A and B are shown apart, each in its own frame.
Chain A
Amino acid sequence: MRALRRRRLLAGLTLEAGVPLALLALWWTWSTRAGLVFFPPLPDILRSFRETWLAAPASKEVLPSLGRLAVGYATAVLAGVGLGTLLGCSEAARRSADPIVQFLRGIPPPALLPFGILVFGIGDPMKVLMIALVCLWPVLLNTIDGVGGVDPTLRETSRVYGLPLGTRLAYVILPAASPQIVAGARTGLSLAIIMMVISEMVASTNGIGYSILEAQQTFRIPDMWAGILVLGVLGYLLNGLFVLLERRLLRWHRGARAREGV
């Protein structure tokens, strides 16, 4: 019985590890044989990946992108949670803010880019602000909802027991709202990555988005693919990091499970 189970487990693991490897091998042989201009051989892509992205000058493109992403995202999460807690605590504030937030959230992020360029120019502040602006809404909206949805008994009990406001926020309200806040932060993260890339594509002289588009325009196709690979790895890592953080943060919450992203 145990041997059977072990064999089944082994087969499952082989399947899970084998399929990706087989796909990679397939891509490798297909791309080296097909000789298509737009789909260069995988070894070429990997070489370019190593030379342009893993070598020292990589920091020239990757670090500015990541820096803008981090500052913009952090600003949005802090502002969203702060403002959302404020608005969520009062029914009247929630009501009056709702239509505005709903509308601003409805604007597709790229549509705000021309506004950013017009008002703030094409420098770093514009990109950071744009990243912050697009991820603010999901965080804000979810915080308002989460704070507003705290169990009234819990809220009132903590007030009746005379807990000071700071303690109530830190130990009652924010923890109770945190699953929703985290869900909003996750939506925000994928929007932030989108905004990071397109702001660099439209108006920049460095960054990952810029260098991919530039590689395409100068027909350095393997470099372009390597850039896409970099973004893929980056997306994967950031997502993984977020999941780890979420698990730590919401360990106590039974209903906490992975939410869908963009």
Chain B
Amino acid sequence: MLGVLSLLEALTRTGVLPASDFPPPSLTLVTLGQQLATAGFWNAVGQTLAGWASGLALAAVLAASLGMVIGASDLAYRAIRVPLEFLRPIPSVALIPLAILLYGTGFTSKLFLVVFASFWPLFVQVLYGMRDIDPLAMDTARSFGLRRLERVRHVILPSTLPYLATGLRISSAVALILAVTAELVIGSPGLGKEIDVARVGGDGRLMYALIVATGVLGWSINAVFSRVERRLLHWHPSQRADGGAR
């Protein structure tokens, strides 16, 4: 890591990479440090995170409730399967113009895009989870006279939770991508907008500093969600087997 940084430093200092486009990493870090002390920077971070968090939460509630209701019935599941397969691959960024039309360029637009994008992975995971419930466990619970809520608590939740956690991890990354995209393309306030403003203003150092900050944000979100997933679900077989997309 340090090796790569010093290589970059050397390349930019000696002018192998044009200085106007590539400021030395040390200067970028200094700029980042200065930014950390300004209110405007934290304001932008807050705006990005607000869109990210509220969108993700809304999508999670929607996906969990819809997924559980639809996944519980064979009929409903089969009925939505084809529309789902068609809606899911629609790139969420295609809806940017629609979001602008409906909600203008503010926070609501960003929220709409984040919710739309993070809904699908969550919904699909919850559906998988519902299909994965052991019918034997369900029948046993039923014949033991567990009420609907008790069945949800003791059978349905434990077997869908791992899927929901995976969905959350995937969606948390997607939600951040869409939040930053909305800020960059539509101009909703937040880190993405600040990055573009820095570029237009010709302040390369600030631009790189903000990109690094966004990267740290993305990296931490991913780290936190992976850890929570592992911690919460250490009892589940899926966490012991290795592999899968990261």
Q: Are B79 and A111 in contact (CB under 8 A)?
A: no
Is residue A123 within 8 Å, beta carbon to beta carbon, of the partner chain? no
Is residue A84 within 8 Å, beta carbon to beta carbon, of the partner chain? no
Q: Are B244 and A103 in contact (CB under 8 A)?
A: no
Which residues of A lie under 8 Å from residue B102 when comparing CB positions? 38
- The one of A111, A145, A238, A261 that contacts B211, using a Cβ cutoff of 8 Å: A111
Q: Are B215 and A231 in contact (CB under 8 A)?
A: no
A164 to chain B, nearest CB (A): 28
Q: Are A179 and B1 in contact (CB under 8 A)?
A: no
Q: In the assembly, what is the distance between CA of A82 and CA of B207, in Å?
A: 31
Is residue A43 within 8 Å, beta carbon to beta carbon, of the partner chain? no
Is residue B139 within 8 Å, beta carbon to beta carbon, of the partner chain? no
Is residue A80 within 8 Å, beta carbon to beta carbon, of the partner chain? no
Q: Are B246 and A17 in contact (CB under 8 A)?
A: no
Contact with A along B216-242 (1 / 0, CB 8 A): 111111100000000000000000001
Q: Are B185 and A110 in contact (CB under 8 A)?
A: yes
Chain A interface mostly helix, strand, loop or mixed? helix
Is residue B208 within 8 Å, beta carbon to beta carbon, of the partner chain? yes
What is the total number of residues of chain B having a CB less than 8 Å from a CB of chain A? 70
Q: Are B83 and A23 in contact (CB under 8 A)?
A: yes
**Interface positions of A from 230 to 247, Cβ below 8 Å from B:** 231-232, 235-236, 238-239
Q: In the assembly, what is the distance between CA of A184 and CA of B243, in Å?
A: 11
Chain B residue nearest to A221 (CB atoms) is B101
Q: In the assembly, what is the distance between CA of A201 and CA of B99, in Å?
A: 14
Contact status of A187 and B94, CB under 8 A, knowing A107-B214, A108-B177, A110-B184: no
Which residues of B lie under 8 Å from residue A238 when comparing CB positions? 89
Contact with A along B20-31 (1 / 0, CB 8 A): 011000000000
A25 to chain B, nearest CB (A): 13
Is residue B37 within 8 Å, beta carbon to beta carbon, of the partner chain? no
Is residue A132 within 8 Å, beta carbon to beta carbon, of the partner chain? no
Q: In the assembly, what is the distance between CA of A119 and CA of B204, in Å?
A: 10
Which residues of A lie under 8 Å from residue B86 when comparing CB positions? 20, 232, 236
Is residue B16 within 8 Å, beta carbon to beta carbon, of the partner chain? no
Chain A residue nearest to B166 (CB atoms) is A260
Which residues of A lie under 8 Å from residue B85 when comparing CB positions? 236
Which residues of B lie under 8 Å from residue A15 when comparing CB positions? 75, 78-79
**Interface positions of A from 208 to 227, Cβ below 8 Å from B:** 209, 212-213, 215-216, 221, 224-225, 227
Is residue B136 within 8 Å, beta carbon to beta carbon, of the partner chain? no
Which residues of B lie under 8 Å from residue A110 when comparing CB positions? 177, 180-181, 184-185, 192
Q: Are A99 and B1 in contact (CB under 8 A)?
A: yes
Is residue B189 within 8 Å, beta carbon to beta carbon, of the partner chain? no
Contact with B along A176-188 (1 / 0, CB 8 A): 0001100110110
Q: Are A38 and B101 in contact (CB under 8 A)?
A: yes
Q: Are A235 and B170 in contact (CB under 8 A)?
A: no
Which residues of B lie under 8 Å from residue A183 when comparing CB positions? 244-245
Q: Are A102 and B219 in contact (CB under 8 A)?
A: yes
Q: Are A17 and B82 in contact (CB under 8 A)?
A: yes
Stretch from B39-47, B56-64, B117-125, B151-159 that touches the partner: B117-125
Determine which residue in A112, A119, A194, A209 has the highest number of CB atoms from chain B within 10 A of its CB, and name it. A194
Q: Are A111 and B97 in contact (CB under 8 A)?
A: no
Is residue B81 within 8 Å, beta carbon to beta carbon, of the partner chain? yes
Q: Are B82 and A103 in contact (CB under 8 A)?
A: no
Chain A residue nearest to B199 (CB atoms) is A114
Q: In the assembly, what is the distance between CA of A106 and CA of B215, in Å?
A: 5
- Can you list 9 residue pairs at the A/B interface with Cβ under 8 Å? A12-B78, A19-B80, A106-B216, A114-B207, A119-B22, A198-B185, A213-B96, A236-B89, A261-B89
Q: Other CB < 8 Å A-B pairs besides A108-B214, A235-B94, 8 of them? A: A15-B75, A16-B78, A20-B86, A104-B215, A110-B192, A111-B211, A197-B94, A212-B96
**B residues near A, CB below 8 A?**
1, 3-4, 21-22, 75, 78-83, 85-98, 100-102, 117, 121, 124-125, 166-167, 170, 173-174, 176-177, 179-181, 184-185, 191-192, 195-196, 198-199, 204, 207-208, 210-211, 214-222, 242-246
Task: Report the 4 A-B pairs with minimum CB-CB distance, sorted nearest first.
Answer: A106-B219, A216-B97, A106-B218, A107-B215
